[in-house]
Structure 1
Amino acid sequence: MTDPELTVEPTARRDALTFCVFGVLVFAVTLFFYLAGFELPQAAWGLMYIASAALFFLGIAKLVEPQVSLVLSPTEVRYEHRRGTWHFNWDNLIRFDIPRTQRGGEVEELPYIGFRLNNIEPVLDSISPRLAVYLVSEQRHLLAAALRRELPAGTDYTPYYDIPSYYKSANGQVYRGVQALFAVRCQQLRELLGYDLYVPSSALDRPLDEFCRWLQQVQQHRHQVDPE
């Protein structure tokens, strides 16, 4: 009998149908008022139509998100995204936690869970180009926050945003193109925040601190876990 896989459903998908229904409802009410001859300022009509469209498309955006964001098996952790996946073996994992920045006496938790790996190569070899490009773009604000908080004031940030021509791993493997870009970003975030890979809180099914405790239990007992 094989060990069960645990899956994590992202909070980003919650209330998707509710947003769609409210969007249609606002549009229907606006259309009814318009056909009934209600006199409203032109800006009010426009605002109501924009609100209905925003609600509807937000619901659609939630619906197209994968139903599962993380898959935890006894051997690996796999991140699922509509643009692709990455995965690594448990044995390759050094640690995970909520990344934090600190300046002076102020500590700020970032809305992610970070994973620090012993070897990033398996991720570079398996990640889809579309997901790599998306993550580099998505994590620009994470990099910016880390640069502002972790480096001395007045530091030149330009090198952190240069596009690399290649990346050479610790084992001597050379990566180019999208893989090199993603590898360098992982390296930068590892230097600044201590982790290679980051999963946003919106992709999780519970608060970050609670998720970390649960994931620690899964890691310790992954060969006899039971889905919650």
Structure 2
Amino acid sequence: MTGKAVQHPSIIIKPIAKHNGISLVIFGVLLLLTTLLFAQHYWQSYRFAYIFMILLCLVITLVGAVKLFEPAISLYLTPDKITFNHRYGHWQLAWQDIQNINIVAEVVGIERETLPYIGIRLVHIDNIAKNISVRLANRLIHQQQGLIIYGVLHQLMTMEQAQINFEPFILSNGEPVKGPIAAFLHQSERLSSAFGYHLFLPADSFDRGINEFSQLLKQCKMASSTYQVN
């Protein structure tokens, strides 16, 4: 007798960045056509202004086109794990490997400043070492430079800590990790010391507001400990 595959309930998240991409492409193309239409009659009088507008239209269209290459699904949530998809790869974690989830925020002076990220603090950084693709690790090293710069400017990190560390990363069992994943793990530890989180989900990878999505992730993590397959 053949057993039936168990279907786990899941939540699929489509990134808002992809929707913005369509809007930017349409806007860029329409603006370009309008500019070219007017340029036929007034090119000699406003040549430099039209050249600037044409270049601006091309940049807008290009930015939109790049966003369209983002994966159709950015996050896949099931009772046992969370998977983050990126055009350069993915990472995957069991909910039990996550210690804390919250919106990234820092106190600047007397004000609390919220950053456009949801932070994930791991129980142990070893948990991500073998669950992230090499290409994504390499990409995130550079994509997270905005956080690094913010950390340096607000004295959360030193200039030395802001440098990419290419040394092997030693896991808790003594196993060395080399290459882009090692550099990513070093950077994740430094970001954890500065902001309190190892992983960062950008706000444009959600399909809803950052507060609502943060609550959703917390609920999924909480429910994972009590979920049972019937």
Common topology (TM > 0.5): yes
Residue identity matched to 1:45: Y
Match among 16, 28, 31 for residue 26 of structure 1: 31
> Contact between 1:147 and 1:192, CA under 8 Å: does it hold in 2?
no
Secondary structure of the equivalent of 2:83?
strand
Q: Which residue of 1 aligns with 2:3?
A: none
Q: For 1:85 and 1:104, locate their aligned partners in 2 and report how far apart those are by CA, in whole Å.
A: 37
> Contact between 1:101 and 1:149, CA under 8 Å: does it hold in 2?
no
> Contact between 2:97 and 2:127, CA under 8 Å: does it hold in 1?
no
Q: Which residue of 1 aligns with 2:78?
A: 73
Q: State the shift of 1:172 in Å.
A: 2.0
Q: Which stretch has the larger CA shift, 36-45 or 53-62?
A: 36-45
Match among 193, 196, 208 for residue 195 of structure 2: 193
Secondary structure of the equivalent of 1:14?
helix
State yes or no: 1:171 paired with 2:168: no
> Contact between 2:164 and 2:183, CA under 8 Å: does it hold in 1?
no
Q: Which residue of 2 aligns with 1:146?
A: 151
Point out where structure 1 has 5 or more consecutive residues left out of the alignment. Answer: none
Q: State the shift of 1:183 in Å.
A: 0.5
State yes or no: 1:3 paired with 2:8: yes
> Contact between 1:101 and 1:150, CA under 8 Å: does it hold in 2?
no
Distance 1:102 1:169, change over 3 A: farther
Q: For 1:150 and 1:106, locate their aligned partners in 2 and report how far apart those are by CA, in whole Å.
A: 16
Q: For 2:78 and 2:44, locate their aligned partners in 1 and report how far apart those are by CA, in whole Å.
A: 60
> Contact between 1:101 and 1:146, CA under 8 Å: does it hold in 2?
no
Residue identity matched to 2:35: T
Q: State the shift of 1:219 in Å.
A: 2.3
Match among 128, 131, 153 for residue 126 of structure 1: 131
Q: What is the correspondence of 1:53-132 to structure 2 with a 5 Å cutoff?
A: 53-132=58-137
Secondary structure of the equivalent of 1:61?
helix
Q: State the shift of 1:15 in Å.
A: 3.6
Secondary structure of the equivalent of 2:99?
strand
Q: Which residue of 2 aligns with 1:49?
A: 54
Q: For 1:143 and 1:121, locate their aligned partners in 2 and report how far apart those are by CA, in whole Å.
A: 22
Distance 1:20 1:103, change over 3 A: closer
Q: For 1:130 and 1:79, locate their aligned partners in 2 and report how far apart those are by CA, in whole Å.
A: 14
Q: For 1:110 and 1:15, locate their aligned partners in 2 and report how far apart those are by CA, in whole Å.
A: 20
Percent of matched pairs sharing the same residue: 29
Residue identity matched to 2:15: P
Secondary structure of the equivalent of 2:100?
strand
Q: For 1:3 and 1:135, locate their aligned partners in 2 and report how far apart those are by CA, in whole Å.
A: 30
Deviations 1:106-130 (A, max 9, x none): 3222110011111222422132222
Deviations 1:59-112 (A, max 9, x none): 211211111111111111111000000111011111110122224433222110
Aligned length: 221
Q: State the shift of 1:39 in Å.
A: 4.2
Secondary structure of the equivalent of 2:128?
helix
State yes or no: 1:157 paired with 2:162: no
Q: For 2:210 and 2:20, locate their aligned partners in 1 and report how far apart those are by CA, in whole Å.
A: 20
Q: State the shift of 1:37 in Å.
A: 5.6
Q: Which stretch has the larger CA shift, 37-46 or 193-202?
A: 37-46
Q: For 1:197 and 1:52, locate their aligned partners in 2 and report how far apart those are by CA, in whole Å.
A: 35
Q: For 1:15 and 1:166, locate their aligned partners in 2 and report how far apart those are by CA, in whole Å.
A: 39
Q: For 1:71 and 1:139, locate their aligned partners in 2 and report how far apart those are by CA, in whole Å.
A: 22
- Structure 1 residue ranges, 4+ long, deviating more than 6 angstroms after superposition: none
Q: For 2:219 and 2:192, locate their aligned partners in 1 and report how far apart those are by CA, in whole Å.
A: 24
